[in-house]
Structure 1
Amino acid sequence: MISNHTMMLNEALEDKLNQNETVELILVDVFEALKTKGYNPINQVVGYLISGDPAYISSYQGARNKIQQIERDEILEVLLEKFVETRK
């Protein structure tokens, strides 16, 4: 049966979408900063994700500070979700 009530997006889902957008924006900024400085962004971010050592990320344009604002597991989760989405 169709309801006449307005449906609302679950707040937890909305928070998750906002978190994913934040992670994506930060990663784009970090990748651009690394690329501009002549680094291979994929190698550098993988090094950071595996080791947890922020020295893998250049401080250029605040990239190191930006990536440290989010947990590494959150980054991995967003990357994996994006990978799975592209496989559909």
Structure 2
Amino acid sequence: MSSFEETMQFRLRPDEPSRAERALLLAYEALSEKGYNPIHQMAGYLISGDPAYITSHKDARDTIRRLERDELIEELVRAYLAARLP
């Protein structure tokens, strides 16, 4: 069986705090404080990978760049579904 036919499984350790969650919240706060629409700016960053979408205010740009974009997307999916599923 080729590796393309197998489903890979990803798990975070339950005791590991989410760096992605902290980075997203920091970026949201910093963008809001600077008068930007944080949802539009973060979406632009996640789609393009261009860090210029994230302000350097409160070190938000450097903080969010320390993570891979897929980590940030996984956190967003987890939070979205957790808020909507029983």
Class of the TM-score when normalised by the shorter of the 2 chains? 0.7 to 0.9
1:71 is aligned, of 51, 68, 77, to 68
Counting aligned pairs with the same residue, the percent is: 47
Corresponding residue number in structure 2 for 1:50: 47
Q: Which has the larger radius of gyration?
A: 1
Count of aligned positions: 75
> What secondary structure, in the 3-state scheme, does the structure 2 residue paired with 1:18 have?
coil
Q: Which has the higher helix share?
A: 1
Shift of 1:13: 3.9
TM-score scaled by length of structure 2: 0.80
Q: RMSD of the TM alignment (CA)?
A: 1.6
Q: Cα deviations across residues 19-45 of structure 1 (Å, max 9, x unaligned)?
A: 5x2111111111100000000100000
Gaps of 5+ in 1: 1-11
TM-score scaled by length of structure 1: 0.78
Gaps of 5+ in 2: 1-10
